């Protein structure tokens, strides 16, 4: 059901518009001024906004300015009883979808709403398509080694299910790419892919990040906040570096997986969530269990489908393919003609100990593109590799 926000300081106008649009089966919420409207927009998504121009505290044009700064794509229909041509033109220049004068005409309202939704749907479809094309280009799993072919085959088998996947491998080996491919090839690919790096979030904040919090639940909780489980609803939640998650957060994640329900920090109400969980770690979770750092029951919940991503040192025959891919990608990004690695340079790359895996290879290719001539040689590799620079 489409959600519409009505912002107007006149209660009678808000109620009239609400009744008209609810009769058309839209989900309607109302706000008495622009400040309240912005708070509503921060808390939940809307498909359309009606906004009065003349209001106290914050008028409609100011509201429109703030909305544009948020890079919002929500269509806004401006309404006013004090309008003139200049006001209408200014509001449209600021990004309003339409302008309707009071007294409001029923047919004019409904036509504008339908047109706004049709345009919005086209924009969303184009955005999804552009994102998919970009994702397909940037999130490819490159390689023809046996291990990589097995991973691609596993992704094709598993993606269309909702089975939980635990991805293991060294840092920089491409675990995130596997997670993104699982999402892109799934039936959830039109819904969010939300990534949480469990190692990057302080232990005291991880629960709020995952499950959200209620206003006043702790000192800095000035307003209600949705967590990543809620934001990923209908889509995929990727818990990266889950081996670094705190014990209390592990317990709550386990409960969420068992019940498909969460409770915000400081809250009591249970919220239903429909989320596919993909987790990744560079740690040996069985050792972490033995050392008392990870819950065994959570491990078994996550480890339905295990996928291990090999290090670059274990798949050195893929280096020429990867190097050529990064050469083309980075040269295109920088707007220059594609450079070439000669055969001796490729052999030199194969001899490097890739402790940083794919991420390190990409960085070195970018460095070579910037510092070398059109043909990159073995001498260039010796000069600009991390092994040389670290000595």
pLDDT digit string, tens, across residues 208-224: 999 999 888 887 777 88
Which residues are within 8 A (CB) of 21 and not within 5 positions of it... i.e. 6 or more apart? 4, 6, 28, 109, 113
CATH of region 3-124: 3.40.50.2300
Task: State how far the Cα of 116 lies from the Cα of 101, in Å rounded to an integer.
Answer: 17
Over residues 338-353, mean pLDDT: 95
Q: What DSSP letter does each residue of 263-321 carry, written as one string? A: E-BT---EEE---EEEEEESS-HHHHHHTTSS-HHHHHHHTTEEEEPPPGGG-GGGHHH
Q: Please say if the pLDDT value at position 175 is more than 70.
A: yes
Task: Give tens-digit pLDDT for 77-100.
Answer: 999 887 677 878 888 888 899 999
Two tokens at 56?
């106290």
Q: Which fold has domain 313-389?
A: Helicase, Ruva Protein; domain 3 (1.10.8)
Task: State how far the Cα of 336 lies from the Cα of 375, in Å rounded to an integer.
Answer: 14
- % pLDDT > 70, the chain: 93
Over residues 108-135, mean pLDDT: 74
Two tokens at 358?
């794919």
For 284, list phi and psi in degrees, rounded to 5: -85, 100
3-124 and 142-310, same CATH topology: yes
Task: State how far the Cα of 236 lies from the Cα of 167, in Å rounded to an integer.
Answer: 14
3-state secondary structure of 187: coil
Q: Which letter, b or e, does each residue of 11-48 get, where b requires 16 or more Cβ atoms within 10 Å of its Cβ?
A: eebbebbbebbeeeebebebbbbbbebbebbeeeebbb
Residue-level pLDDT at 127: 63
Task: Give tens-digit pLDDT for 53-70.
Answer: 988 888 889 999 998 888
- pTM confidence score: 0.67
Helices (H) and strands (E) in the chain, counts: 17, 16
Residue-level pLDDT at 230: 93
Task: State how far the Cα of 21 lies from the Cα of 124, in Å rounded to an integer.
Answer: 22
3-state secondary structure of 141: coil
Greater model confidence, 242 or 128: 242
Task: Give tens-digit pLDDT for 6-48.
Answer: 999 999 999 999 999 999 999 999 999 999 999 999 888 899 9
Domain ranges within the chain, ordered by starting residue: 3-124, 142-310, 313-389
Over residues 163-179, mean pLDDT: 96
Residue-level pLDDT at 48: 93
Q: Which fold has domain 142-310?
A: Rossmann fold (3.40.50)
Strand partners of residue 239 = 196, 279
| pLDDT bucket at 125, cuts 50 / 70 / 90 | low
């Amino acid at each position: 059901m489409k959600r519409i926000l009505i912002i107007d300081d006149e209660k009678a106008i808000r109620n009239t518009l609400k009744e008209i649009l609810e009769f058309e089966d839209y989900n309607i919420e109302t706000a008495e001024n622009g400040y309240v409207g912005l708070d509503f927009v921060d808390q939940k998504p809307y498909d359309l906004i009606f906004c009065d121009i003349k209001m106290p505290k914050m008028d409609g044009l100011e509201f429109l300015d703030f909305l544009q700064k948020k890079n919002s794509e929500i269509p806004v229909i401006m309404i006013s009883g004090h309008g003139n041509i200049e006001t209408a033109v200014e509001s449209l220049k600021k990004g309003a979808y339409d302008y309707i004068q009071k007294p409001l005409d029923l047919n004019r309202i409904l036509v504008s709403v339908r047109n706004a939704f049709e345009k919005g749907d086209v924009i969303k479809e184009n955005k999804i398509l552009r994102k998919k094309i970009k994702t397909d280009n940037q999130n490819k799993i490159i390689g023809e080694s046996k291990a990589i072919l097995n991973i691609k085959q596993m992704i094709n088998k598993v993606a269309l299910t909702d089975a939980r996947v635990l991805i293991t491998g060294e840092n920089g080996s491409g675990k995130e790419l596997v997670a993104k491919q699982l999402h892109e090839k799934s039936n959830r690919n039109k819904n969010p892919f939300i990534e949480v790096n469990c190692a990057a979030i302080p232990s005291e904040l991880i629960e709020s990040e995952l499950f959200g919090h209620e206003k006043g639940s702790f000192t800095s909780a000035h307003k209600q906040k949705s967590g990543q489980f809620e934001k990923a609803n209908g889509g995929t939640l990727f818990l990266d570096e889950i081996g670094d998650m705190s014990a209390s957060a592990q317990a709550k994640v386990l409960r969420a997986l068992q019940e498909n329900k969460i409770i915000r920090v400081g809250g009591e109400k249970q919220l239903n969530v429909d989320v596919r969980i993909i987790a990744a770690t560079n740690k040996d979770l069985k050792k972490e269990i033995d050392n008392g750092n990870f819950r065994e029951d959570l491990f078994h919940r996550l480890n339905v489908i295990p996928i291990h991503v090999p290090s670059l040192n274990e798949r050195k025959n893929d280096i020429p393919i990867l190097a050529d891919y990064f050469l083309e990608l980075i040269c295109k990004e920088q707007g220059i003609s594609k450079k070439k690695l000669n055969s001796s340079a490729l052999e030199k790359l194969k001899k490097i100990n890739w402790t940083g895996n794919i991420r390190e290879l990409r960085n070195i290719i970018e460095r070579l593109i910037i510092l070398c001539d059109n043909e990159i040689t073995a001498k260039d590799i010796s000069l600009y590799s991390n092994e040389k620079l670290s000595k």
